[in-house]
Structure 1
Amino acid sequence: MSRQAKAVVCREWGQPVQVETITIDPPKRGEVTIKVAACGVCHSDHSATTGKIQYPPPLVLGHEGAGVVVEVGEGVTELKEGDYVVSTFITMCGKCRNCVRGRPVLCENARKSMVTLPDGTVRTHGKDGEDLYVFGACGVMAEYATMHVDNCVKIDDDVPMSSAALVGCAVITGVGSVFNTAQLEPGSRAAVFGIGGVGLNAIQGCVTAGAEMVIAVDTNEKKLEMAKAFGATHTINTNEVEDVSKAIKKLSAGGVDYAFECVGNGKVVEQAYKALGRAGTVVVVGVADMKDKTSISTFALPADERTLKGSWLGSARPQYDFPKILNLYKANRLKLDELITKTYSIDEAPQAFEDMIAGKNARGVIVFE
């Protein structure tokens, strides 16, 4: 059956988000409808409202959600009504070269469903019946969402939904960049640039993986204090040093083994690269503007055997990695509850975006009744 639901919608680039009542169609073959319990407010959602991520409006926001399955479509056997799930904006065809070699985040067919479901259509409509695009095949910043079953990961029902939701983006992006992309070795020295939701998770990923030194780098002193709570051994406020790369090299006795850029800025990538020791690796996690550029010393790549790598959603395999992360959380080895600075109702979504832009939250979460 069709459902009426409040949703957070981007109507025009450069304008504040709007809370609207929309219609959610029932699931078709291979799809499920979930009642969303919680959705994280992510910088990527904001980037979609500014045009930095060029998803066309009108667009239902939200890709970092958790909820309960309330209806299943024809042919769905992986999930049933009552199952708890976390959304993932990675659509995996399971057949292309990257999928079959274990790199589903690089699925060659995923771009077909960046703002629709995999079949190229949507289940979301405005008050006049107009089609509404959905962020990353999800659109979970809404009371209900109909998605393809492959965009849902089943989880245990003993995890708070507000915490579980964060696994779908912030947590896997940060922790996965350490575990999967960098494959950080115990005893390594690391620096994390940009201490937002993703950066905090990169920090705790480094700690869990056994790094002996984790340097947090940011301009916001409040966020640097958060970094300490998540395991950073040292902090650097870039407003207080003349050359952040030299400051890191001094702290780490010659440079770090791994540097994680969680800002999405070419100049910061350059700083991270210069902060490396020999055989060091920069992992670029942040999503930059498409016109942004990075300039590095080409000579240092072979001479120091440095590596520059990208990490998309922490190089995740969602069906495998999400439950693993939640098991680490239940074993008190990863912090999730502590990431949530503030919760909001859906009617407070515009304020949640303002607070995120102002840097007030590690993560703001919209909690649905």
Structure 2
Amino acid sequence: MPTKARIAVISEAGADYAIEERAIADPGPHEVLIKLIATGVCHTDLSVQAGNLPTNYPVVLGHEGAGTILKVGDHVKGLTEGDNVVLSYGSCGRCRPCQEGDPAYCNDFEALNFMNKRQGEDAPVFDDGPNAAFFQQSSFATHSIAHERNVVKIEGDVDISLLGPLGCGIQTGAGAVMRTAQPPAGSNLLVSGVGSVGMAAVMGAKLAGCGTIIAVDTNDDRLELAKEFGATHTITAGKGIDVAEEVRGIIEAGVDYSIECSGNDKAARAALESLAKRGTLVVVGAPPSGTEYAFDANDQILSGRKIVGCVEGDAKVKQFIPELVRLYQRGLFPFDKLVKRYPFDKINEAVQDLHDGKVFKPILEMS
């Protein structure tokens, strides 16, 4: 008997989600079939739904899935039926970045994660239905096909329904600090935009031992929460506020690191200008396709500042996600405070609440 899956389908850019039922394919030799327990909703899902980032419609989105393995392909290693797992991003494993240990910069990243190129099989996930290999999981569904490379086994007694966001948004913010920037203890660091990704960056900065952690946002309530997670100072951005000047009122020379999570061009400019000489700007927040950030070339030369991009927190997921789980279990990474749960059938409500800034991290529960 084929496995029936309930899926949330986007028919075209700007459309709402529609729940449908379809028979899902069996896993290929290097794939697994997952019964999803819960899936996080990420701003990337919203951007793709709106048409600001690419995909091929109709499509099943969702890329922060967590669940239990139902079936395992013949050549899968290290995973078995019944394992609790978190799903993350796809990577080919063969290109130079993958071979050199940087799978987040896979040469095939766009095809495998945005354009629904199924990595483990040529056949579609649904014979008569929408594209469903988004981030090699399409986890806005009760069941999902995923490739062994992006499936992370979770050991121990932990609520698997909470962990899906570690597969993208939360690992991105934490990894931007802990893996991309890698600030020495005592460094000064700014986080621009404290949604769920930025809050995870604040937590990561505290774990890294940063001496001064400045959170910047337009929302005072978010800034208050950022203090609970480790921010030592906050700046309310807005009309007439010179963020870089405010930063230098806290640290005269400027910060050593800026983690830009908002995807806003003015915020990115402020984050760059807040840097001390030789400081590093880590660009995390994804604006609409085609957005350009500008800087003064001579300022850049004379300051020795560096600008680096960051995808998925530079995470090697099979190591980094379990590390974050262990930190959470020890009470050092309380990302659960960002979560609000919704039934799967309320997906459009969850998406709207995230869009409106009413929640940090919605989690859809499938049962």
Per-residue displacement from partner, 1:233-259 (whole Å, max 9, x unpaired)?
111111275211211121222211111
C-alpha deviation, 1:123, in angstroms: 4.5
1:325 and 2:324 correspond: yes
Letter in structure 2 aligned against 1:288: P
Q: Which is worse superposed, 215-224 or 343-352?
A: 215-224
State the TM-score, normalizing by the size of structure 2. Answer: 0.95
Distance (whole Å) between structure 2 residues aligned to residue 122 and residue 59 of structure 1: 15
Structure 1 counterpart of 2:361:
363
Q: Is the 8 A contact 1:26 1:123 kept in 2?
A: no
Letter in structure 2 aligned against 1:20: E
Distance 1:327 1:176, change over 3 A: same
Within the candidate set 334, 341, 344, 1:343 is matched to: 341
Letter in structure 1 aligned against 2:171: I
C-alpha deviation, 1:296, in angstroms: 1.1
Structure 1 counterpart of 2:112:
113
Q: Is the 8 A contact 2:260 2:271 kept in 1?
A: yes
C-alpha deviation, 1:119, in angstroms: 4.6
1:57 and 2:41 correspond: no
1:172 and 2:171 correspond: yes
C-alpha deviation, 1:19, in angstroms: 2.1
Structure 2 counterpart of 1:2:
2
Q: Is the 8 A contact 2:56 2:131 kept in 1?
A: no
Structure 1 residues without counterparts, runs of 5 or longer? none
C-alpha deviation, 1:177, in angstroms: 0.5
Distance (whole Å) between structure 1 residues aligned to residue 279 and residue 208 of structure 2: 17
Per-residue displacement from partner, 1:172-197 (whole Å, max 9, x unpaired)?
10010001111111111111111111
Q: Is the 8 A contact 1:7 1:346 kept in 2?
A: no
> How many residues are treated as equivalent by the alignment?
365
Structure 2 counterpart of 1:155:
154
Q: Is the 8 A contact 1:24 1:123 kept in 2?
A: no
C-alpha deviation, 1:80, in angstroms: 0.5
Structure 2 counterpart of 1:264:
263
Structure 2 counterpart of 1:26:
26
Distance (whole Å) between structure 1 residues aligned to residue 220 and residue 350 of structure 2: 21
Q: Which is worse superposed, 21-30 or 203-212?
A: 21-30
C-alpha deviation, 1:131, in angstroms: 4.1
Percent of aligned positions with the same letter in both sequences? Answer: 35
Structure 1 counterpart of 2:66:
66
C-alpha deviation, 1:153, in angstroms: 0.9
Structure 2 residues without counterparts, runs of 5 or longer? none
C-alpha deviation, 1:57, in angstroms: 1.0
Q: CA RMSD in A?
A: 1.6
Q: How does 1:200-239 map to 2 (within 5 A)?
A: 200-239=199-238
Q: Is the 8 A contact 2:5 2:24 kept in 1?
A: yes
Letter in structure 2 aligned against 1:197: S
Residue aligned with 1:326, SS? helix
Distance 1:298 1:348, change over 3 A: same
Residue aligned with 2:111, SS? helix
State the TM-score, normalizing by the size of structure 1. Answer: 0.95
Distance 1:249 1:122, change over 3 A: farther
Distance (whole Å) between structure 2 residues aligned to residue 109 and residue 45 of structure 1: 19
Residue aligned with 2:70, SS? strand
Structure 1 counterpart of 2:93:
94
Structure 2 counterpart of 1:295:
294
Per-residue displacement from partner, 1:22-55 (whole Å, max 9, x unpaired)?
3211112111001111110110001111111111
Per-residue displacement from partner, 1:76-101 (whole Å, max 9, x unpaired)?
2321001111101232x323211121
Residue aligned with 1:112, SS? helix
Letter in structure 2 aligned against 1:26: D
